[in-house]
Each structure stands twice: as C-alpha cells, then as structure tokens.
C-alpha cells in the first residue's frame, strides 16, 4: 500500500505536466482593451435594441377597446454602461438608467367613438444586466457558450394625440402597463440572439487552423478555456505550425511557457521559441529549405570568387572547366530559434554543394562544404501579420567581423567566425583553404541568399484576432525563451459591418470544420 502511494507521488508531476500543455502563443486583453471593446459593443447593442420587434397589443376594459400595432424604437439613451471582467470565465455588461423612446399606431373604441392615431411613449429607468460565459468549443475556437440576462423598466409613460387624445389619457394605464411588460420581455431575447448567434459569428473569423502558404499551416486552437481575472483575459493557443503534406503531425512542446505580466497596453501577444521552431520544422519536413542556383542565376561576384580562389585549382583539373556553375544550399536539420533578452537568433546547419554542369553530361561535383551560422532575427508586426526578417550580420558588427580572433587549429576541420563558419566534409586541407573564403562568402550570402529567404517569409502569419480589429503602436520585447508584442487596438471595421458580412444563413446549419482555411492574399488587410 505504501509502495503504491509512493508510486502515485512520483507519477503526479508528470500527470500535472500532461494536463497543462504549454502554449506556443498567448494573448492577454487588458481592462484598457476591454474599454475599447465596450465602446464598439455599446453601438452594437443600440443597433440591436432598435430592431426589437414587439407583438401587437390588443384587449378591452369595459366599454374601452384598444389595438396597438407597428411598434418601433425611435431613440435610445444608453448613457450609463459598463463592461467588466468577472473571474473565472465571464464578461459582465451592465446598463443603468437607460431610456427607450417608442412610437406605435393605436386603434381605440369607446362606446360609439372610434379613434385612430399614433402614440409616442418613453420607457425610463431601463436596467439591463447580462453575463456572458466564454469557453472554447470542440474545435478550439473561443465562443460565448452561455448568457444570462435580466432586464427591467422602472417607469413608462405615453403621450396621446388626435381627436380623442384628452379623453383617453385616463385610460392609458392599460396600454402603458401592457407595453411596458411586452418591451421588457423582448430585451433579453434580442441580446441573447446578438450574443450567441451574431457575436459568435464574429468570433468565427478568428483563424483556428489555417493554411499559411502552399507548404505549411498554423494551428491556433485554444488549449483550454480562457482565464479571466478582474483586470485581464488570457487565452492560451497551441501556436503550432504543421506541414501540409502531414497535417496530423504533432511537434512536442518543450519550450518555456510565455508569461505576460504587463497590463499597460490594450493587448499583449506572446510567442515562445516553440512557435518559431515548429514553423521551421514544418518547412524542413515539407522539403523546401533548399535553394538551387545554376548558370545565370549564380551571382557573378560569387562565381568569380569561387573560380579565383582555391576552387580555381579544382576547376582547372576538370575537363569541363568552362561549364556553368551550380550551387545547392540545403538545410541539413530543422533550424532552431533562440530568444534572449538581448535579441532573437536562428541557428542553421546546411550543406553547400558546388558542381559544374556541362551540357548533355552528368554534373561534376567539385566540393561539398558544411555551414553553421546563427542568423539575427528581427520580429515585427505589419497589420495583423507577424513577420520575421533574417540577417547574417550581427547588429553592430564591424565590417571585419571576428577576424581579430586567432584562427583555430586546421585539424579541427572547420574555421569559426563570429556567428558563421564553414568547413569541408572531405578533407582538412580543403578546410584550411576555405578559411580565406569565410568573410567574402558570408558577405555574398548576405547579399544574394538572404534576400531570397526573406522574400519567401515576407507575407508573415496572421495573429488570431477577429476581422476588423487591428494593432497600433506595437512594441516587441524579448524575454528568456519567449517574446511579447504589446500594442493598442482599433476597429478598422465596425462590429455590425463584419457581422453582416458573415451573418449566418437561417436555412443553413452552422458546422464547425477542422479543415484548415486557405491562406488570405494579404493578412494585413484583414
């Protein structure tokens, strides 16, 4: 029995770890961000309440018969409202002392007197208290899973006009009481439809499993329900890229979990090293981390360099010395991202194969060298697209690089420069000859190869925000093992505009598909 208890104690840490998968991407919305959402949300609520449909009211009281129809909301005054976080999964929207102005058609019969006209009414002291519960659905998308609502009207009065206006004012109690009841009964159903149907259709615009390009996709599914405190809402996303040729592939996350402590900006987005590692691992699995240059595509400066140095001797020994040159740069292992407070870098190991390709004859391989480098990575936002720009140059690096260091011993079979080294896969003698090539080759790679790589990553990847919501005043901050993007928000499109664009068709059954969506042409325009 005691042995079994010890075993459970030993097993407990692994069970806890398994139940709490670290996110690759994390988003925090602060109370400042919620204030902006409240402003746009209040406009949306006003629009919804203006579309309230109140059924006709008819009845009789002794000799008095009435029929009320064509009820329309003409004006709303929602001056006192608030939107707050409520732990653990709720948002509370509270409206106090609002007023609603109405206009409707009346038909009144009293004895032999018949009157038709309009009535202007006002509902004052309107109180609406709604609680929205947030949760992740079966595909990992944030949803409003439940809503509770309470609405009341403190008082209501109506003004009559027409031939018998003064005569019927004393009978208006029947009409006002009935209209007050019907109106209060329609407020919550209207807001419930707005929340569970319309706002959820807005949340459907947040990418969950999306194709980035023709090679890879991104999984932004929520790992768990949102965590809400009195000041913040935190969302933990999987943040894992996958190769499209193997969409079910899972890359285990051993990276540091992002920790967001700041609350000064409206929103914070954190990315761990796992987020970037999974992207590079997916590209590697897709087999696209290869660049081949042949003939005219080989930069002239690089070709002259190779023919004029050690490789010139090898060229002269080949009967096809004048044949076009082929360079194949192939990454040999998935690159790794390293995020430190001082900056972000990417470690890359690759092979560079140099061959001559005479016409109508098999290629003649001249050399195969290994390259190891640590690229500087600049991470930034453009619209809602996260982009990474790679650079072989270290920030602040002098043109001489690290030539002040003593060259390593030639028997080590490689020569080390700061952040860049090449060595022969064939002989120590060739490694020694490569020493003079390192600095110019590094410069030429920066000028020729890096623009090709950065052009491929130029599009970036969309951050999971609803359509119509964009970042402003972004600031990227590096930490140990992760980076954060702090920003403010603004609405480039109103809630109503986006909701109308994606309004569910009543006859269609909404379905949640796990199939990734195709990439957009311009994520920054979303």
Q: For residues 297 and 223, what is the distance between their CA atoms, to the nearest angstrom?
A: 46
DSSP output for 346-392: EEEEEEEEEEE--TTS--EEEEEEEEEEEEEEEEEEETTEEEEEEES
The tens digit of pLDDT for each residue in 382-417 reads 888 899 988 876 544 433 333 233 333 332 222 223
Residue 131 makes CB contacts below 8 A (sequence gap 6+) with 86, 90, 91, 92, 93, 147, 148, 149
pLDDT at 191 over 80: yes
pLDDT value of residue 298: 78
How many residues can be counted in the chain?
A: 526
User: Radius of gyration of the chain from Cα atoms?
Assistant: 34
pLDDT at 170 (0 to 100): 59
Q: For residue range 59-69, list pLDDT tens digits in order.
A: 776 677 777 78
Tell me if 478 sits within 8 A of 341, measured CB to CB: yes
State the pairing for strand pair 267-272/482-491. Answer: antiparallel
Of 21-25, 433-437, 440-444, least confident by mean pLDDT is 433-437
Residue 35 and residue 519: Cα distance in Å, rounded?
Answer: 31
Dihedral angle, C-alpha 309, 313, 314, 318, nearest 10 °:
130
Which range among 31-45, 181-195, 308-322, 330-344 shows the weakest confidence by mean pLDDT?
308-322
Give the pLDDT band (50/70/90) at residue 161. low
pLDDT of 11 reads 45
Q: What is the pLDDT of residues 96-137, one digit of tens each?
A: 999 998 888 877 776 777 777 778 888 999 999 999 999 999
pLDDT tens by residue, 467-485:
888 999 999 999 999 999 9
- Confidence check: pLDDT of 7 > 50: no
Q: Quick check: 415 and 442 in contact, CB under 8 A? A: no
What's the average model confidence in pLDDT over 168-183? 73
Q: Tens digits of per-residue pLDDT, 255-300?
A: 999 999 999 999 999 999 999 999 999 999 988 888 888 888 877 7
Closest alpha carbon to 101 in 118, 119, 122, 127? 122
Give the pLDDT confidence score for residue 400 in this predicted structure: 35
For residue 17, pLDDT beyond 60? no
3-state helix, strand, coil in the chain (%, to 5): 30, 40, 30
The pTM of the full predicted model, rounded to 2 decimals, is 0.80
Q: Find the range with the poorest average confidence among 147-161, 191-205, 308-322.
A: 308-322
The pLDDT value given to residue 519: 56
For residue range 218-246, list pLDDT tens digits in order. 999 999 999 999 999 999 999 999 999 88
Q: How far apart are CA 293 and CA 355, in angstroms?
A: 11
- Closest C-alpha to 128, from 86, 91, 81, 85: 81
Give bridge partners of residue 512 from the DSSP assignment: none
Give percent above pLDDT 70 in the chain: 76
Confidence label for 374 from pLDDT (cuts 50, 70 and 90):
confident
CA 130 to each of CA 42, 152, 187, 430: distance values in angstroms, whole numbers, following the listed order: 13, 12, 11, 75
Cα-flanking dihedrals φ and ψ of residue 111, to 5°?
A: 55, -120
Average of per-residue pLDDT values in the chain = 79
**What is the per-residue pLDDT for 351?**
86
- The model's confidence at residue 1, banded by pLDDT at 50, 70 and 90, is very low
Mean pLDDT is lowest, of 77-86, 163-172, 496-505, for: 163-172
> Whose CA is closest to 496, among 186, 194, 128?
194
Tell me, letter by letter, the H, E, C secondary structure of 392-434: CCCCCCCCCCCCCCCCCCHHHCCEEECCEEEEECCCHHHHHHH
Beta bridge partners, 482, equal 272
Compute the distance between CA of residue 116 and CA of residue 105 in angstroms, rounded to an integer: 8
Same fold, 32-204 and 289-395+419-464: no
Give domain limits for the chain.
32-204, 289-395+419-464
The distance from CA 320 to its chain's CA centroid, rounded to whole angstroms, is 53
Using the predicted structure, report yes or no on whether residue 443 has a pLDDT greater than 90: no
Instruction: Report the pLDDT value the prediction gives residue 24, as an integer from 0 to 100.
Output: 95
For residues 270-300, b (16+ Cβ closer than 10 Å) or e, as one string? bbbbbbbbbbbbbbbbbebbebebeeeebbe
Q: Is 111 exposed, middle or buried (0-12, 13-18, 19+ CB in 10 A)?
A: exposed
Percent of the chain with pLDDT over 90: 32
Considering the segment(s) 32-204 as one domain, its CATH architecture is Super Roll (3.15)
**DSSP 8-state symbol, 342:** T
Would you state the pLDDT for residue 207? 85
- Digit-coded pLDDT (tens) for 330-356: 888 999 999 999 889 999 888 888 888
289-395+419-464 falls under which CATH superfamily? Bactericidal permeability-increasing protein; domain 2 (3.15.20.10)
- Judge whether residue 32 has pLDDT over 80: yes
Q: Which residues contact 268 (CB under 8 A, 6 or more apart)?
A: 27, 28, 30, 260, 262, 484, 485, 486, 487
């Amino acid at each position: 029995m005691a042995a079994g208890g010890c075993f459970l104690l030993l097993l407990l840490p692994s069970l806890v770890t398994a139940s709490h998968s670290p996110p690759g991407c994390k988003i925090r919305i602060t109370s400042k961000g919620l204030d902006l959402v409240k402003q746009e949300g209040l406009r949306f609520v006003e629009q919804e309440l203006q579309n309230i449909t109140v059924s006709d009211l008819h009845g009789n009281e002794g000799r008095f018969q009435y029929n009320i129809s064509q009820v329309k909301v003409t004006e709303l005054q929602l001056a006192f409202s608030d939107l707050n976080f409520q732990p653990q999964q709720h948002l509370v929207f509270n409206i106090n002392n609002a007023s609603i102005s109405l206009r409707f058609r009346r038909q009144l019969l009293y004895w032999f007197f018949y009157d038709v006209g309009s009535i202007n009414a006002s509902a004052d002291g309107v109180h609406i208290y709604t609680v929205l519960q947030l949760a992740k659905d079966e595909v990992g998308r944030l949803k409003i899973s439940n809503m509770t609502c309470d609405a009341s009207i403190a008082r209501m009065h109506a003004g009559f006009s027409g031939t018998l206006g003064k005569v019927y004012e004393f009978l208006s109690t029947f009409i006002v009481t009935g209209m007050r009841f019907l109106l209060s009964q329609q407020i919550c159903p209207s807001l419930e439809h707005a929340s569970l149907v319309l706002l959820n259709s807005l949340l459907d615009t947040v990418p969950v499993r999306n194709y980035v390009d023709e090679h890879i996709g991104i999984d932004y599914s929520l790992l768990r329900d949102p965590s809400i405190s009195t000041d913040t809402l935190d969302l933990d996303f999987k943040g894992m890229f996958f190769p499209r040729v193997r969409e079910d592939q899972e890359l285990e996350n051993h990276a540091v979990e992002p920790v967001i402590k700041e609350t000064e900006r409206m929103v914070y987005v954190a990315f761990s090293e796992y987020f970037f590692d999974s992207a590079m691992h997916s590209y590697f699995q897709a087999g696209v981390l290869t660049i081949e240059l042949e003939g005219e595509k080989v930069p002239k400066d690089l070709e002259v360099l190779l023919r004029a140095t050690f490789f010139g001797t090898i060229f002269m020994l080949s009967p096809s010395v004048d044949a076009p040159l082929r360079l194949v740069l192939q990454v040999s292992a998935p690159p790794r991202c390293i995020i430190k407070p001082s900056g972000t870098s990417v470690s890359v190991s690759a092979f560079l194969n140099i061959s001559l390709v005479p016409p109508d004859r098999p290629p003649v391989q001249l050399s195969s060298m290994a390259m190891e480098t640590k690229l500087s990575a600049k991470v930034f936002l453009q619209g809602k697209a996260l982009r990474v720009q790679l650079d072989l140059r270290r920030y602040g690096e002098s043109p001489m690089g690290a030539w002040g260091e003593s060259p390593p011993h030639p028997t080590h079979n490689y020569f080390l420069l700061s952040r860049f080294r090449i060595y022969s896969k064939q002989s120590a003698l060739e490694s020694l000859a490569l020493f003079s090539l390192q600095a110019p080759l590094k410069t030429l790679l920066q000028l020729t190869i890096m623009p090709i790589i950065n052009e491929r990553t130029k599009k970036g990847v969309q951050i999971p925000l609803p359509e119509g919501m964009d970042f402003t005043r972004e600031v990227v901050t590096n930490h140990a093992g992760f980076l954060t993007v702090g920003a403010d928000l603004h609405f480039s499109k109103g809630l109503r505009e986006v909701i109308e664009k994606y309004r569910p068709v009543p006859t269609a059954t909404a379905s949640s598909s796990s199939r990734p969506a195709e990439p957009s042409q311009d994520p920054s325009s979303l």
